[in-house]
Structure 1
Amino acid sequence: MPTDKTTGTTNLVSNIIAHVTTLVRKEMELARAELGENLSGAATAVGVIVGGVVFTLVGLNVIAAALVAALTAAGMHPFWSAVIVGGVAIVAALIMIKGGMSKLKASSLAPTRTTENVRRDVSAIRETTNG
């Protein structure tokens, strides 16, 4: 026949297991939500990159022909006119692409809030068990 002390210990262990299970479940839900937010931000950054590339190509195709024609009309050799206009277009495209890529760093995708919550949880559990 179990004693009151054994029953109390069993209840305490059951409560601890239930709380830890709930805590782990909630941390997993938070991690999933945070990863979803971060991936949404990454998708937006990819959209910015694609948009930058598309606008660069379309706009530069139209403007490049006009600039090459203008430089040629001003007396420059058509080859050098095309090289100058193409170089400026490439620099502009690289600036846009670099801006989008900087938003896709791996650290921006990590679930930082969840990581911090888990650290606090571990610290609280250690304090509870040690004190």
Structure 2
Amino acid sequence: MSVDTRPHTGVTAAPPRSDASTAELIKQASGQLSHLVRQEMRLATAELAQKRRAAGKGASLMGAGGVLAFYGGAALIGTVILALALVWPAWLAALVVGVFLLLVAGVLALAGRASMRRAASPVPGRAVDSLRQDVAELRERTHR
């Protein structure tokens, strides 16, 4: 069972009057169609804004991963290398610390990329589906 998530527009179809001319009916239908298209455009705009926020979150995670990789490496690399150099040769200590920092940066970047992929396509899917339903219904009504 499908639930209509579109906002109620407040516009209801007036019952057709038997004395209304064809021109009046066409004018009324045109006005209602214009209002419907405006409402669908508002829905599409809202859906795109939601998708932009999700993509922004993914970009933020990727940026945070990059910043942490840089500053973490810069702040701790000297201390850790010196500590490990007490047990290993200095070059080996530097290599181990560098590889570890790159692995952490890679994990954060992958998490950010996964979040951006969940943001999905920028096409407003619900609004497009709703417009398709509206067009199909209009076609059905005009062919009666």
Which letter does structure 2 place at the counterpart of 1:103?
S
**Is 1:130 aligned to 2:137, yes or no?**
no
Q: Displacement, 1:6?
A: 9.5
Q: Displacement, 1:13?
A: 0.8
Q: Aligned Cα RMSD in Å? A: 2.2
Q: What is the TM-score when the length of structure 1 is the normalising length?
A: 0.81
% identity of equivalent residues = 26
Structure 1 alignment gaps of length 5 or more: none
Answer whether contact 2:44 2:127 (CA < 8 A) is retained: yes
Q: What is the TM-score when the length of structure 2 is the normalising length?
A: 0.74
Q: Structure 2: how far apart are the matches of 1:71 and 1:90? A: 18
**Is 1:79 aligned to 2:91, yes or no?**
yes
Choose from 70, 75, 80 the match for 2:83.
70
Q: Structure 2: how far apart are the matches of 1:80 and 1:127? A: 75
Answer whether contact 1:52 1:97 (CA < 8 A) is retained: yes
SS, match of residue 73 in structure 1? coil
Q: Displacement, 1:32?
A: 1.3
Answer whether contact 2:68 2:105 (CA < 8 A) is retained: no
5 Å-filtered alignment, 1:32-71, equals 32-71=45-84
Listed one character per residue, the Cα deviations across residues 32-70 of structure 1 (whole Å, up to 9, x for unaligned) are 122122212222222222222212222232232232222
Q: Structure 2: how far apart are the matches of 1:63 and 1:100? A: 24
Q: Structure 2: how far apart are the matches of 1:35 and 1:100? A: 20
Q: Displacement, 1:11?
A: 1.3
SS, match of residue 123 in structure 2? coil
Q: Number of residue pairs matched? A: 126
Answer whether contact 1:53 1:93 (CA < 8 A) is retained: yes
SS, match of residue 38 in structure 1? helix
5 Å-filtered alignment, 1:76-115, equals 76-105=88-117, 107-115=120-128
Structure 2 alignment gaps of length 5 or more: 1-17
Q: Structure 2: how far apart are the matches of 1:130 and 1:107? A: 37
Choose from 10, 14, 25 the match for 2:27.
14
Answer whether contact 1:42 1:109 (CA < 8 A) is retained: no
